Structure 1
Amino acid sequence: MFRRFQLARLVDKVPDGDDWLFEMKFDGYRCEAELFGSKVTLYSRGGHDWTGIFSHLVPAFQKLTKGSASIDGEVVAIDDEGRASFNLLQNSLKRKAPIVFYAFDLLEQDGEDLRGLPLIERKDRLEALLGERRPTDPIQFSSHIIGHGQEVFERMCASGHEGVIAKRLNARYQSGDRSPTWLKVKCTKRQEFLVVGWRTNEEGEDLRAFHLAEEIEGKLVYRGRVGSGITDRERPGFLGAVELIEVDEPVLAVPREERKLGRWVEPRLVADVAFTEVTEEGTLRHPSFKGIRVR
């Protein structure tokens, strides 16, 4: 039986106090493992049956218990530097390459609904269920640190990880809620990029996003587009500004699919953008517009 996930609220500040525990924020696919004897069903965040997609995890789950269990976790791929990589995970799924399930909560065990228990008790029972884990095992326990949240966050960011999840030690599991007992704090990068164009709506009458480029060794490299963070109040002024420097063709190579709704400019404007990483395709992941200036 699929149980709706508890979701974390995105916040800007790490909570203080020893009544919080902190886990790594994984960059992967949320997954629920429903075990009933040798039968294993793996569900996506939307409740879809992804057992076939994650089929190489099934034998490991079959060895965990002869009874029943419902385990909340994240399917990730770990790169050579020990970081969870969403790009690597997508490529791993295409090649059916090894991936890892990080288990961080136990919702049911042998017919007992555990969601009303304190989190720390659920995690203790989960760790006991998993037993001792080898580094090469496809199922791993998501370890945590109690307190010291800001220090944990800073170390995660310095190591190139995505961020932390903060959880109240004694909180119950709230299926379907984005409650204040689970908080996520993301590590973000921030950089300036040249504006090389803008994306219109289907009618070609509005500015929906800026096309971005980075100058590397004297050459412009396309970095995708940013629309999040641009307010409706700002759009008319930005549209007027880019129309003054419009050119017929982009000043660099851009993906074919971007040309349909793309309009192009001389690279005279510089956008301040926050983002989480540059993908293997060379574009920004989770970009957010912060401001603009004249070059």
Structure 2
Amino acid sequence: MLKFIRPMFPTLVEVPPAGDNWIHEIKYDGYRTQVIVEDEGQSDHAKGLRLVIDVQDDCRGGGNPFPQVGIDGEAIVLNEKGVSDFHSLRSAMRWAPDRIIFVAFDLLHHDGIDLRREPLLARREKLLEVVGPAKGVIQYSHHVHGGGADFYAAVDRIGLEGMVSKREESSYRSGDTEAWVKTKCYEELDFEVAGVQRKPGSAPLALMATRDAERRYVGSANIALTKAMRERLYAKVQEGKGSPPRGADKPDAEWIEPGLVGRVKTLKRENKLRHATLRAIREAKA
């Protein structure tokens, strides 16, 4: 009886790995999910999140299209640009579940055999045999061999979230691993520096807000400024006179008067700042 398996989680890195012993895939923006196909009546033995999907579109010749399998992948919804969109997925789960696609990228079990000790490429070869190059509700996550830098450049240019790189010979081990790594795409944006948060034992954080009438809190960023810029920032903090932006719940924050613009490096396609760094500040133009 197949059970939910704790997933293998890639490590976040700044630069994709080089070398021909890595494969690279698109990083999809959705819910990490396992599909378990087994004999009828056994489904209550699985634990964890289970995706219930209609596989009839992928049947070739009728009946159950797959043998008893456990597949690791991502549940996604594509937006009007053909890009996976997490916010569209959350809406579809409630209002349009027929839009959900399962992108398969690893095969953990096949016909009673545990494949997790097999090399990644062997597992993926068998996975492709199982799901085929389907265009229905279950799809195969294609990959390229080597060329990580070029693949990243293409992903960034297209406007995708990022990429996942995996060692070709890696076995499947639950939990965090460096045999799989993910590289996300960043962008630099301007926000208002609304304040600073300083906690004992922790590095100070800049608190950022939108530069519009709404003045909405968007998150925090690590401070990576030159000495002169850092001194200018803390001079503003000493002056005080600030009020919290909309949506900020930071009782220990030191708010500053509006008028300071910060250049922030942050992950693309996020509603709030993630893995963000404050890289420069300037006075707003009157």
TM-score clears 0.5: yes
Residue in structure 2 matched with residue 266 of structure 1 by the alignment: 257
Q: Give unpaired runs (5+ residues) of structure 2.
A: none
Superimposed CA distance per residue, residues 145-195 of structure 1 (whole angstroms, 9 cap, x where no aligned partner):
11222111111111110111111222222222413x211111111223221
8 Å CA contact 1:41, 1:49 repeated in 2 = no
Query: What amino acid is aligned across from residue 114 of structure 2 in structure 1?
Result: D
Tell me the distance in 1 between the aligned counterparts of 2:89 and 2:275.
20
Please report the TM-score for the alignment, with normalisation by the length of structure 2. 0.79
Tell me the distance in 2 between the aligned counterparts of 1:109 and 1:271.
52
8 Å CA contact 1:22, 1:166 repeated in 2 = yes
Residue in structure 1 matched with residue 52 of structure 2 by the alignment: 55
8 Å CA contact 1:31, 1:42 repeated in 2 = no
Q: Secondary structure at the match of 2:172?
A: coil
Q: Secondary structure at the match of 2:209?
A: strand
What's the offset of the Cα at 1:225?
A: 1.7
Structure 1 pair 42/33, CA: closer, same or farther in 2 (3 Å)?
farther
8 Å CA contact 2:23, 2:168 repeated in 1 = yes
Tell me the distance in 2 between the aligned counterparts of 1:268 and 1:285.
20
Residue in structure 2 matched with residue 254 of structure 1 by the alignment: 246
Query: What amino acid is aligned across from residue 177 of structure 2 in structure 1?
Result: R
Residue in structure 2 matched with residue 106 of structure 1 by the alignment: 107
Please report the TM-score for the alignment, with normalisation by the length of structure 1. 0.77
Among 203, 209, 213, the alignment partner of 1:213 is 209
Q: Secondary structure at the match of 2:216?
A: strand
Q: How many residues align?
A: 271
Query: What amino acid is aligned across from residue 277 of structure 2 in structure 1?
Result: F
Structure 1 pair 238/72, CA: closer, same or farther in 2 (3 Å)?
farther
Tell me the distance in 2 between the aligned counterparts of 1:222 and 1:286.
16
Q: Secondary structure at the match of 2:264?
A: strand
Q: Give unpaired runs (5+ residues) of structure 1.
A: none
What's the offset of the Cα at 1:42?
A: 10
Query: What amino acid is aligned across from residue 191 of structure 1 in structure 2?
Result: L
**Percent identity of paired positions between Structure 1 and Structure 2:** 27
Query: What amino acid is aligned across from residue 26 of structure 2 in structure 1?
Result: M
8 Å CA contact 2:11, 2:176 repeated in 1 = no
Q: Secondary structure at the match of 1:121?
A: helix
Q: Does 1:148 align with 2:136?
A: no
Tell me the distance in 2 between the aligned counterparts of 1:154 and 1:72.
26
Structure 1 pair 238/126, CA: closer, same or farther in 2 (3 Å)?
farther
Q: CA RMSD, aligned part only?
A: 3.4
Q: Secondary structure at the match of 2:126?
A: helix
What's the offset of the Cα at 1:223?
A: 5.0
Residue in structure 2 matched with residue 95 of structure 1 by the alignment: 95
Residue in structure 2 matched with residue 194 of structure 1 by the alignment: 192
